[in-house]
Chains A and B, each alone.
Chain A
Amino acid sequence: MTAKLEESGPVAHAGTADAIKSLRGLLNTAIRGKQEVVELVLACLLARGHLLLEDLPGLGKTTLARTLANALGGRYARVQCTPDLMPSDITGFNMFNQKTREFDFCEGPIFANVLLADEINRATPRTQSALFEAMAERQVTIDRATHRLPQTFFVVATQNPIDSHGTYPLPEAQLDRFAMKLSIGYPARATEIEILARHVGQRDQSSSSETAISSESLFELQEQIANIAVAEKVNRYLVDLAEATRRHPEVSIGLSPRGLLILQRVAQARAFLNSRRFVTPDDVQDVAGPVLSVRLAGDFSSPDSVIDAILADVPTPLWD
């Protein structure tokens, strides 16, 4: 688990390895002392998933999302979700052009490479549902016209878990379209001291605007990751995990087949980031927590204990 892509292993080409290294560096600069979170964000990005950041205010959710958006290049859009936000405010709308006597389509912010949906749970369910098609199929259908989104379309949504006034919990269908849910958490004491020291003399907090990887390179990387090998016994292990989530007494909604595919893909990305050409159960277990926590529903306060119990209960494949 210590072998990273910057070791320029045989899995990635030198160019892509440098891009990943640069991207990792930018994120680690924006969010200090959270290397494991950064690795998971990278895995989510490379797996073509969408990311939900859930944490308390002021822990760097927006900073991380903005830095990531800037680092990926392409078009970046941010939507500050509010209760009066309408679906057309996100997807766009057809406007009648008086001159041409025709309807012109005005693209919404969703037509971006990276969409930051800040405080997504403050939007109404009607507005949230506007993201369904875009997140699952990377396209938007408005007035019988389907508009394709960029291949590297990536949604980073944030939400505040404790401030429930005026919020609308995300529906399960929406949650299942996110690849993973991450919590950044408080930094360590030494990290906080370092953050304070680095911000002395700076007028405001500004995220880096440096681009680490182009959309085309990112798309190639995502294609490459899809070809990471998964052994049959690892696939069986994935299915065992899914069945265990469906059988667990505290879980009412287990892992769906779409969630299973996402788990496999994120594990592939994790193996790629660990410079490996194949997936191991360690990769699966590394990403199982954030991937499962976003989509398991049931009678529990925190899904972490349930996920830990499932991971401990399902036998990992060895030489059998």
Chain B
Amino acid sequence: MRAKSAWNRPSWVLVGISTLMLQLALFDRQGWVVGEWVQLGIAVFLVFVVHAASGRQWERRGQLVTAMCFAVLIILPFAWDAFQRSTADWGQPFEIQLVLALRNMMLGLVAQRGTASNKAFAALASCFLALFSILWLMNGWTVALLFVYTIVGMWWLMGVYWDGLSSCLPSHSERCVPWRPIGFAVALGGLIAGLLLPIAKGRQFTTAIAGILPSSGGTRWSDEFAYGGVGDGPQMVSAKEDASSFGPIESELFLESKMPSLYDCFNEFSNPPPKHRTKGRRRAIPLAPNLMKQNHQKRGSNKQAGREFNTVRQRKHETPHVADLRSHALLQVAGRVPVHLGLYSYDLWDGHRLAASNRTPARALRFDTSSGDRRSWARYADAAEDDLLTYRDRHEIRIINLKTERVPSPPNCIGVHIDKLHTANLFRVTQDGMLVMEGGQIPQLSVMHVESLQRSASDTPQLAKSSSNARVDTEDVDTKDIDALAREWTTGVDDGWQKVETICQRLRREFVLDAEHMAPADVDDVAAYFLFESKRGPDYLFATSAALLIRSLGYETRVVSGFYADPEHYDRQSRLTPIYVDDAHFWVEVLAQAPGSESSKTRGFHWLPVEPSPGYQVLLAPESLWSQWVSRAAVTWHALKRNPIPVLACLAVCMAAWVKRAAVGDFLVTRWWEVHHRWGDARYRVIATLRLLDRRARVRGFPRPKGSPVERWQLTAAAREADDDTWSGPFRDLANWALYGEDAPLEFTPHQVSSLCRDAVAGAFRPPRKRSVPTSRRFERTNA
């Protein structure tokens, strides 16, 4: 029995790890659902009941209670799901309910005492759940947990095998742990895991095994709460006969569409812009002519040269119809969010309108099939990581309801890929530096893969100074006030990126983002009106003002319009971020130069997005674990510094609790004993008292050796206590009866049992203090 009980602990560990993996997978899929945690809490409570009922203290009732608990544990996920569907309109697919039932049963089995076969079944179930979870969610945490699970599982298997083997050996043989085979197995397992991990991280692995898992119907025809299963996802079929069969690219059924474009999105908000006289334009080009690369390749032409965006608009005030309230997504984005998806850039400003100069240096595209993912990419010829842009990111964009030829691409996009498309000629670069798909609009439901480069948050970019002839001021636009404001805001701030950040932070902090507040049509300079008078307005005024302010300091800027993939819209179930009409957005990009690229005239210049609008964030390279800890520590430190009094009060309370931890712990445990020891019969009460005394003795430094009977140990420990005579009284006989007198009659009345237990708790192994006089001496043993 000793050998069997020794392997109970690894069983607990296996069950614990698999449960944690399952909960992580559930949390990743469905987020924070209170009902699920309540269900888990009920299951854990029942598991504790099973653990208690399988002991001896409940005697024959234990079997009945255990059976009832198991029944409830298995039924609980189904009943709870039915309850949630009827009340909260939320539910789980059937396979998840099955998995939860298996989890509950596994916890119950491992909690039941005295049955080695149950532990084996629980370990088997934990293996299934661990595999299920890792197939469902494969990230760093689950992979690490699976690694630990594998090691513990091997240990457990070898232990069970060794136990079985030892029973066949002669009785006098020496039993020892096979360290050498275990070490070899662990090393081999680690080697295999190390070889498999890079493979497992690829998409092929999960895609290949996705079809093995059971599904409740990926198309949700049978269950509205079904998760994705076989038949949907990125590998969609062509729609040749029926549009509902979902064709992404090849289907001509979707090519003719009257879906809105980006401009239509902005026009939904406001009336058409008023006619306005054309003023002289304040022009700026991103790079000086001497920095422009002489490119003889085919250069993309903007079919809509002179495209403008008028910032003087009037908000529509129409009474929405009920049917209009439901907005369909224009795009769906898979990948890290928030991300800006640019469509148009502007570098000209005349006081009312943003326009593109179409003088961005031309960039060529090349066809690249050398990628490790076996995809054919259309990449920029000069696209590569450098010291500024260090992280290569990838997004998948599904065009749902957007009529455009421009590819919504993240900042510093370096390539685009469409499935089954093996040519780069389909794409070109416009004169304002954006990516365009030739041949009209991008087909609806196309899934486009875009790669981009991002900088690290810890790096400070080095900005490119504009050349002297990069700006062309006109007489009509007075920029003196804006220049003065920029200098005022950045006084004392280091040149470069700090000034850009200062301006953006000032705008975000002191100005109000108000989509309803439009500039009046009669102002000469809308940006000046926004900066000096209204101090509130839509995001394009933030972007325009920031661009002008930064530009006035001598740095190259441009305004970009497109979409903002809001992380608030992230759908955990589909793992996609839908982009709605409301997500049309303006932001600013600043030209920066990578360190070490000073000698190159073309390479190393990048447009970095900055966000002057409050509530918007810029996507940066993911931080390393160490950087995350450092930044969190810094945030915590600043929070502590801001609230010294509450922090000091908490510290004082914690220190006092630590100093008095024995007394505090004893107080809490004793109160709990007072509450729960009344529930059971006399034997249960006495054992609860013994458990309390056992804990107290352990805290007081008298831990019971495992080979010492409780009576002998208590007498020894009690002898060290000067005046503790608890164990020399009738409580000793009572304790022996509760522990070992299974069918022996009780020689005390219930009142005496309660009094003796109370006296023992009041006297034995208490932290030093004034104690009440035990009343146990008043009782004489009576014959039952």
Contacts and interface: CB of A to CB of B under 8 A. Distances in A.
Contacts of B171: 243, 246-247, 254
Interface in B684-722: 687, 690-691, 694, 705-712, 715
Interface string A241-256: 0011011010110100
B471 interface: no
A276 interface: yes
B742 interface: yes
B172 A254 contact: yes
Contacts of A142: none
A312 B2 contact: no
Given A249-B174, A252-B172, A254-B171, A319 B740 contact: no
A240 B784 CA distance: 33
A176 to B, nearest CB: 15
Contacts of A279: 740
B783 A316 contact: no
Interface residues of A, number: 38
Contacts of B172: 246-247, 249, 251-252, 254
B736 A314 contact: no
Interface string A278-320: 1111100100000000000000000000000001111111111
B690 A319 contact: yes
A277 B784 CA distance: 13
Nearest to A313: B707
B723 interface: no
Contacts of B691: 319
B707 A278 contact: no
A52 interface: no
A315 B740 contact: no
A10 interface: yes
Interface in B101-159: 113-114
Interface string A4-22: 0000001000000000000
A216 to B, nearest CB: 27
B782 to A, nearest CB: 10
Nearest to B176: A249
Interface in A160-210: none
B707 A320 contact: no
A277 B744 contact: yes
A233 interface: yes
B743 A311 contact: no
A251 to B, nearest CB: 7
B55 interface: yes
Contacts of B708: 312, 316
Contacts of B715: 1
Contacts of A281: 709, 740
B740 A233 contact: yes
Interface string A210-236: 000000000000000000010111101
A260 interface: no
Given A239-B1, A281-B709, A314-B2, A319 B742 contact: no
A285 B715 CA distance: 15
Contacts of B409: none
A319 B709 contact: no
A276 B55 contact: no
B508 interface: no
B738 to A, nearest CB: 8
Given A229-B744, A280-B736, A285-B709, A319 B1 contact: no
Contacts of A251: 172
B57 interface: yes
11 contacts: A232-B742, A233-B740, A243-B171, A247-B173, A277-B741, A278-B740, A278-B742, A278-B744, A285-B709, A315-B707, A317-B739
Interface of B: 1-2, 55-57, 113-114, 171-175, 687, 690-691, 694, 705-712, 715, 728, 733, 736-737, 739-745, 747, 783-784
Given A246-B171, A280-B709, A316-B707, 13 more contacts: A229-B744, A240-B1, A247-B172, A247-B175, A249-B172, A276-B741, A277-B741, A280-B711, A280-B736, A280-B740, A312-B707, A315-B707, A319-B691
Q: Closest 7 interchain pairs by CB? A: A246-B171, A281-B709, A312-B707, A315-B706, A278-B741, A282-B709, A277-B744
